[in-house]
């Protein structure tokens, strides 16, 4: 979805003195049905009102943050633009040096602040969250949990893209978010090498796409963010097996994940595949706060939930999704799904 590169337009008087993004100037014409795209800037706003004006724009689009200009900066300037694609909000932010901070606050019932992936395009920042701190140079990314306190300090004029998504869209990967906040991820290796160019092009060009294309790409973007969270949790915080028992449990969990789609998967088959008795298998999982049967069902439900929220799979019936992940009976699938998520599969699909 790369867009043609053009020469940058001259900088209008009063705009943010951040180096322009080469080739990205005026927003292209949007196709019919495209997402609502808006832009708020400080041009034309009295200097004494600019910070609060821009803060209100950020609070309404990203999170209830406080904006603090860098000490000595008396001529604050900034712009924020973007819109929604499916369940994802895509934002572009440019400003002079500042700090964005969020303090502890109650989250209103029914509100899902979720995480936001910050892609640092220009400038250097530092991030602090969950007792960790990291430097975020241009080309790197950081994940913020918008429901918990954080501070993002921009030390120079900057440009960043923000990808905000509801926590529930991440499925089981959401449980790993607290382990990867407050860290900088390179945008040139692993999942980051796939995610960063895709997310930046989405943030810039989503408004030019037809609605069904935009929603399908948004689903792919969510999957890439979930993959990044899983990858970084494994690299940064995963506990290495230290005993023979823990190593065997890890192998069994991996075996279950690999064979989730097989409706014949059962504790007896898992035990047989690892050359142990069924009783030994149950003893192994006594310290895992679950049973093998519950683990299989939980993982199947999580994968069904992930597939149901993908717009690209909207044409598949709910019973087909359940069968695809090993549920032979539609009624059993619906009951099991409700026991985990508190709603039916059809209600889940409609809400995402």
What structural domains does the chain harbor? Answer: 37-236 (2.60.120.10), 244-351 (1.10.10.60)
d(CA 229, CA 175): 9
Q: Do the Cβ atoms of 159 and 21 come closer than 8 Å? A: yes
- CA triple 122-127-130, angle to 5 deg: 155
Helix (H, G, I), strand (E, B) or coil at 229: helix
Per-residue pLDDT 10s for the chain (352 aa) are 434 333 333 333 333 344 343 333 333 333 333 346 789 999 999 999 999 999 999 999 999 999 998 876 678 999 999 988 888 999 999 999 999 998 755 544 444 568 999 999 999 999 998 878 899 999 999 999 998 899 999 999 999 999 999 888 888 888 888 888 988 999 999 999 999 999 998 888 777 777 778 888 888 999 999 999 999 888 865 444 457 887 788 789 888 988 999 999 999 999 999 999 999 999 988 877 788 999 899 889 988 988 887 765 677 899 999 999 999 999 999 999 998 888 899 988 887 5
Q: Do the Cβ atoms of 185 and 141 come closer than 8 Å? A: yes
Is pTM beyond 0.75 here?
no
d(CA 6, CA 172): 41
CA 320 → CA 262, 290, 324, distances in Å? Answer: 14, 27, 6
The 10 Å Cβ neighbour count of residue 168 is 16
d(CA 91, CA 141): 14
Torsion of Cα atoms, 146 then 149 then 153 then 159, to 10°: 0
d(CA 214, CA 86): 7
Give phi and psi for 34, each to the nearest 5: -70, 160
Q: Which helix (H) or strand (E) holds 304?
A: helix 292-308
């Amino acid at each position: 979805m790369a867009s043609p590169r053009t020469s940058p337009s001259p900088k209008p008087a009063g705009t943010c003195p951040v180096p322009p993004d080469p080739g990205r100037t005026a927003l292209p014409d949007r196709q019919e049905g495209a997402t609502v795209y808006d832009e708020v800037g400080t041009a034309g706003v009295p200097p004494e009102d600019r910070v609060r004006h821009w803060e209100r724009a950020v609070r309404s689009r990203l999170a209830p943050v406080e904006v603090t200009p860098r000490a000595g900066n008396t001529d604050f300037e900034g712009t924020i633009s973007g819109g929604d694609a499916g369940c994802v909000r895509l934002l572009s932010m440019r400003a002079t040096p500042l700090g964005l901070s969020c303090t502890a606050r109650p989250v209103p019932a029914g509100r899902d602040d979720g995480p936001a992936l910050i892609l640092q395009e220009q400038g250097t920042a530092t991030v602090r969250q969950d007792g960790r701190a990291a430097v975020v140079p241009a080309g790197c990314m950081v994940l913020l949990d918008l429901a918990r306190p954080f501070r993002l300090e921009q030390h120079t004029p900057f440009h960043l893209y923000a990808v905000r998504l509801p926590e529930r869209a991440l499925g089981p990967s959401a449980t790993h978010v607290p382990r990867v906040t407050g860290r900088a991820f390179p945008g040139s290796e692993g999942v980051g090498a796939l995610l960063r160019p895709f997310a930046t092009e989405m943030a810039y060009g989503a408004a030019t796409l037809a609605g069904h294309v935009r929603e399908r790409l948004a689903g792919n973007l969510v999957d890439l963010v979930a993959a990044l969270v899983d990858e970084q949790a494994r690299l940064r915080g995963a506990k290495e097996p230290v005993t023979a028992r823990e190593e065997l449990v890890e192998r069994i969990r991996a075996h279950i994940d690999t064979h989730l789609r097989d409706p014949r998967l059962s504790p007896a088959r898992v035990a047989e595949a690892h050359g142990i008795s069924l009783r030994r298998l149950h003893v192994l999982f006594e310290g895992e706060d679950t049973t093998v049967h519950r683990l299989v069902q939980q993982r199947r439900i999580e994968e069904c939930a992930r597939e149901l929220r993908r717009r690209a799979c909207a044409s598949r019936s709910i019973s087909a999704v359940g069968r695809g992940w090993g549920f032979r009976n539609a009624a059993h699938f619906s009951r099991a799904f409700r026991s985990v998520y508190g709603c039916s599969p059809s209600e889940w699909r409609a809400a995402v």
